[in-house]
Chains A and B, each alone.
Chain A
Amino acid sequence: MATKTIKVDYLARVEGEGALKIVIHDGAIQSAELNIFEPPRFFEALLRGRAYTEAPDITARICGICPVAYQMSAVHAVENALGVEIIGPIRDLRRLLYCGEWIESHALHITLLHAPDFLGYESGIAMAREHGDAVRRGLMLKKAGNEIVAALAGREIHPVNVRVGGFYRAPRKRELAPLAERLERARDAALETVLWTAGFEFPDRERNYTFVALQHPEEYPFNEGRIVSSRGLDITAREYEANFEEMHVERSTALHSRLRGAGAYLTGPLARYNLNFARLSPIAQDAARAAGLGSSCANPYRSIVVRAIEVLYACDEALRIIERYEEPDTPAVPLEPRAATGYAATEAPRGLLYHRYRLDADGTIAEARIVPPTSQNQATIEEDLVSFVGGFLHLPRDTLRRRCEQTVRNHDPCISCSAHFLRLEVADR
């Protein structure tokens, strides 16, 4: 075969590109535009005509970073259509699965993507040369999250053991014991990570955000609860589309979500933290205080600390679930298809994820609607740039570019499943 070694301009997942364009006019920010390709649109079409039982496996392929959230939102929405509510050990296992996904996604973002911004490195690789221990700790955490997902879902990427109604196979109690040992070490590492990030220097910037997150009476939210906002919204997932709208934005192909009557809003760790601090476990609340955070935080640069607190919570919650786990009599509840529409919202690591499915009488999916967290946060990310970057224009161009990227990364937009390049264009007019 012909092989040769040549220079390649870039080596990529080439699904698309994320691009950031900031226009500066007379020394002031005129506009900021973040463009992200959105794969869920394609999957909405792909789901039509398929059996409801196929929804978990199809939706798990939307994102390589957060397949669990896509899959579980689909499962919950279909179960909502079929009038089924899952309780007991199967519900607990689902929470455990979310713990795994939050740990792996957050650990990656904190350690390799966001921390380099604060420590002044161009990349996680450059940082690893001088902060090897911190990077190894982050990778160890990520691995612990992977192992939870692998234990419950069969595969780390594209989980295959999840089905509508439960699981194909529930783990034996003894199978979860080795996970607990690793999670205890992970919980210590998570606490270290909270304190490590708390020592970073944060730009002194805050905004009066409209936070939107799930809220549950007793739990920090993963996959159940009402959709609430910091401005008094309090609705079920069924009412999501009546309260939120997606708009085409001029000069962009992306849809931006708006809360009707309130405009841009923020979902994700900062929103969950502000709306649900009281439901964090004591160890997570103590860590937050030790990190200098109160029960609310409106500085998006501190989201890296909040993410670390969520990793700590997820480790703690996973240990609690494993400790009290009793094997279910049956891994899934029986379901009967019917013509109905179901709705669900769950908390993906980077924010609220909404799904709606309309089923025909035989269980065929007639229509699917998926609103990912990144399209919900996109308008707020642009507003952050317009609000904050004006204060940084005196910085050298390279430093300014890094500060812009850091500002985008505050909200961990899921570019990864769609694009690997963020091109920054700063136009001076």
Chain B
Amino acid sequence: MIDALRRVVIGVGNPQRGDDAAGREVVVRLRNRLPPGVELIEEFGESAAILAHMEGARAAYLVDACASGVPPGTVHRFDVAASCLPRSLRACSTHGLGIAEAIELARALGTLPEHCILYAVEGESYGLGAPLSSTVRAAVSSLAEHLATELMQSRPG
């Protein structure tokens, strides 16, 4: 059942791997700033868990790190409710079903929220135990501001 008020922001990443934590850091920066009904969630990236968080939500905002070769700190935005993720985004993985798979699995099962946006922050370095790079830290701050505004403006009526 869809909860008309429920919106989720899911930050995905490994907190021990440098810029891979970008998505989670965005969620951390949104804490205590958003209206009731917005759930803030941090995840490692396992798809079934992400799928479960999205189920029944009116809107989902997913934030992840990515490595596509563009300058670090670039933020990609995909309206995944409107169209499928490009095939090249889906990992041909043996085990790690990630965020892209969670989205397409939700679509296949008919549980994708009607409003679903994926933000992907281009990372720079992914060292074990490393903090965010300064470039990505700046991108994370500005994405958090952008999301805070978007979530305040698009409050369900």
Q: Contact residues of A with B, CB < 8 Å?
A: 1-15, 18, 39, 42, 46, 61, 64-65, 104, 108-109, 112-113, 123-126, 128-129, 132, 135-136, 139, 142-143, 146, 156-157, 405, 408-409, 412-417, 419-422
Q: State which residues 73-109 of B face A: CB under 8 Å.
A: 74-78, 85-86, 88-101, 104-105, 108-109
> Do the beta carbons of A46 and B92 come within 8 Å of each other?
no
User: For B78, what are the chain A residues with a Cβ–Cβ distance below 8 Å?
Assistant: 5
> Do the beta carbons of A405 and B94 come within 8 Å of each other?
yes
- Rounded to whole angstroms, the CA-CA distance of A46 and B129 in the bound complex is 9
> Do the beta carbons of A421 and B15 come within 8 Å of each other?
no
A420-B108 contact, Cβ under 8 Å, with A7-B88, A10-B66, A11-B98: no
Tell me how far the C-beta of B39 lies from the nearest C-beta in chain A, rounded to whole angstroms. Answer: 14
- Rounded to whole angstroms, the CA-CA distance of A150 and B95 in the bound complex is 23
User: For A420, what are the chain B residues with a Cβ–Cβ distance below 8 Å?
Assistant: 45, 91, 93, 95-96, 98
- Rounded to whole angstroms, the CA-CA distance of A420 and B47 in the bound complex is 12
- Rounded to whole angstroms, the CA-CA distance of A156 and B44 in the bound complex is 11
Interface size class of B (residues with CB under 8 A): 35 or more
> Does B123 lie at the interface of the complex (its beta carbon under 8 Å from any beta carbon of A)?
yes
> Do the beta carbons of A1 and B49 come within 8 Å of each other?
no
> Do the beta carbons of A414 and B68 come within 8 Å of each other?
no
> Do the beta carbons of B68 and A125 come within 8 Å of each other?
no
User: For B109, what are the chain A residues with a Cβ–Cβ distance below 8 Å?
Assistant: 128, 132, 135-136
User: For B64, what are the chain A residues with a Cβ–Cβ distance below 8 Å?
Assistant: 11
Stretch from B3-11, B30-38, B140-148 that touches the partner: B140-148
> 15 A-B residue contacts at CB 8 Å?
A5-B78, A10-B66, A10-B89, A11-B68, A11-B98, A13-B14, A14-B67, A46-B129, A61-B15, A139-B51, A157-B43, A413-B95, A414-B95, A415-B95, A420-B45
> Does B136 lie at the interface of the complex (its beta carbon under 8 Å from any beta carbon of A)?
no
Tell me how far the C-beta of A41 lies from the nearest C-beta in chain B, rounded to whole angstroms. Answer: 9
Q: Contact residues of B with A, CB < 8 Å?
A: 12-17, 20, 43-49, 51-52, 64-70, 74-78, 85-86, 88-101, 104-105, 108-109, 119-120, 123, 126, 128-129, 142-143, 145-146
> Do the beta carbons of B123 and A14 come within 8 Å of each other?
yes
Tell me how far the C-beta of A227 lies from the nearest C-beta in chain B, rounded to whole angstroms. Answer: 26
A8-B86 contact, Cβ under 8 Å, with A3-B77, A15-B20, A61-B15: yes
> Do the beta carbons of A143 and B14 come within 8 Å of each other?
no
> Do the beta carbons of A8 and B96 come within 8 Å of each other?
no
User: For A11, what are the chain B residues with a Cβ–Cβ distance below 8 Å?
Assistant: 64, 66, 68, 85, 89, 91, 98-100, 120
- Rounded to whole angstroms, the CA-CA distance of A132 and B78 in the bound complex is 26
B19 nearest in chain A by CB position: A14
- Rounded to whole angstroms, the CA-CA distance of A101 and B107 in the bound complex is 27
User: For B16, what are the chain A residues with a Cβ–Cβ distance below 8 Å?
Assistant: 39, 42, 61
User: For B145, what are the chain A residues with a Cβ–Cβ distance below 8 Å?
Assistant: 1
User: For A2, what are the chain B residues with a Cβ–Cβ distance below 8 Å?
Assistant: 74-75
User: For B96, what are the chain A residues with a Cβ–Cβ distance below 8 Å?
Assistant: 13, 415-416, 419-421
User: For A135, what are the chain B residues with a Cβ–Cβ distance below 8 Å?
Assistant: 105, 108-109
Tell me how far the C-beta of A358 lies from the nearest C-beta in chain B, rounded to whole angstroms. Answer: 22
- Rounded to whole angstroms, the CA-CA distance of A420 and B126 in the bound complex is 14
> Do the beta carbons of B45 and A13 come within 8 Å of each other?
yes
- Rounded to whole angstroms, the CA-CA distance of A11 and B99 in the bound complex is 8
B99 nearest in chain A by CB position: A11
User: For B12, what are the chain A residues with a Cβ–Cβ distance below 8 Å?
Assistant: 13
A10-B91 contact, Cβ under 8 Å, with A1-B145, A4-B76, A108-B46: yes
> Do the beta carbons of B98 and A146 come within 8 Å of each other?
no
Assuming A9-B69, A112-B48, A135-B108, what are 6 further A-B pairs, CB within 8 angstroms? Answer: A1-B143, A7-B68, A12-B91, A14-B123, A125-B108, A132-B109
Tell me how far the C-beta of A404 lies from the nearest C-beta in chain B, rounded to whole angstroms. Answer: 10
- Rounded to whole angstroms, the CA-CA distance of A136 and B70 in the bound complex is 37
Tell me how far the C-beta of A126 lies from the nearest C-beta in chain B, rounded to whole angstroms. Answer: 8
B64, B76, B143 — most chain A CB neighbours (10 Å)? B76
